[in-house]
């Protein structure tokens, strides 16, 4: 039994429309599951993952998935804490703890301008100048007392991967702390 050409064309069209409908349903399911975005690009919805460093308030590693927005903040230094102190002195900027809090507050503001938070920081480099009050050695405990006000807290539990090192000096006299960060927002 042979069918006439119009019936064959109708069947082909019906199969095509059925396949098209099935494709649309599958695309909707995949998009809802987060495998493909509505723009059609692959966007596996993966979070930023952090590997804990035990009881120490940093991450041993942070993994940022492809497609994340990444923001690099230049190194920031503290604001003057005591305008009455001699210009360019440690007293003008404060001790390492005071300078750390000042810098992290500046970073917090810069991140907010990018619609990010301290919880989005994935990498941090901390540069500390040796403090004369500590025999020319960096005041790691002072830095940590400021740092732990912003990271690994009940309000903000995320911790970045971090390096902290002592440097010979920073751009201006009296500065003991400079911090740069990388922040990321997963897709």
- Give DSSP secondary structure letters for 27-64: HHHHHHHTSB-TTS-B------EEEE-TTSSSEEEEE-
> What pLDDT score was predicted for residue 45?
76
pTM of the model: 0.77
> What pLDDT score was predicted for residue 96?
98
Per-residue pLDDT of the chain (187 residues; tens, 9 = 90+): 555 666 776 776 666 555 555 566 656 665 555 555 445 555 557 899 999 998 899 999 999 999 999 999 999 999 999 999 999 999 999 999 999 999 999 999 999 999 999 999 999 999 999 999 999 999 999 999 999 999 999 999 999 999 999 999 999 999 999 999 999 999 8
> What pLDDT score was predicted for residue 54?
87
> What pLDDT score was predicted for residue 3?
58
Contact between 91 and 85 under an 8 Å Cβ cutoff? The reply is: yes
> What pLDDT score was predicted for residue 26?
58
DSSP calls for 112-181: HHTT--GGGEEEEEEEEEPBGGGTTB--HHHHHHHHTTTSSSSS-----EEEEEEES--SSTT--EEEEE
Domain 49-185: give its CATH architecture: 2-Layer Sandwich (3.30)
> What pLDDT score was predicted for residue 140?
98
In the chain, what are the domain boundaries? 1-45, 49-185
> What pLDDT score was predicted for residue 141?
98
């Amino acid at each position: 039994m042979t069918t006439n050409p119009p019936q064959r064309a109708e069947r082909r069209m019906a199969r095509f429309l059925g396949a098209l409908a099935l494709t649309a349903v599958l695309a909707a399911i995949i998009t809802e599951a987060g495998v493909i975005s509505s723009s059609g690009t692959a966007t596996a919805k993966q979070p930023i993952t952090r590997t804990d460093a035990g009881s120490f308030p940093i991450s041993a590693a942070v993994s940022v998935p492809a497609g994340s927005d990444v923001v690099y903040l230049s190194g920031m230094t503290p604001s003057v804490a005591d305008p009455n102190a001699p210009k360019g002195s440690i007293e003008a900027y404060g001790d390492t703890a005071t300078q750390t809090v000042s810098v992290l507050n500046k970073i917090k503001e810069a991140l907010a301008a990018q619609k990010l938070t301290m919880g989005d920081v994935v990498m941090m480099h901390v540069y500390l100048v040796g403090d004369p009050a500590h025999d020319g050695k960096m005041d790691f405990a002072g830095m940590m007392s400021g740092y732990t006000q912003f990271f690994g807290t009940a309000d903000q539990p995320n911790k970045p991967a971090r390096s902290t090192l002592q440097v010979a000096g920073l751009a201006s006299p009296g500065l003991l702390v400079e911090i740069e960060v990388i922040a990321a927002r997963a897709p």
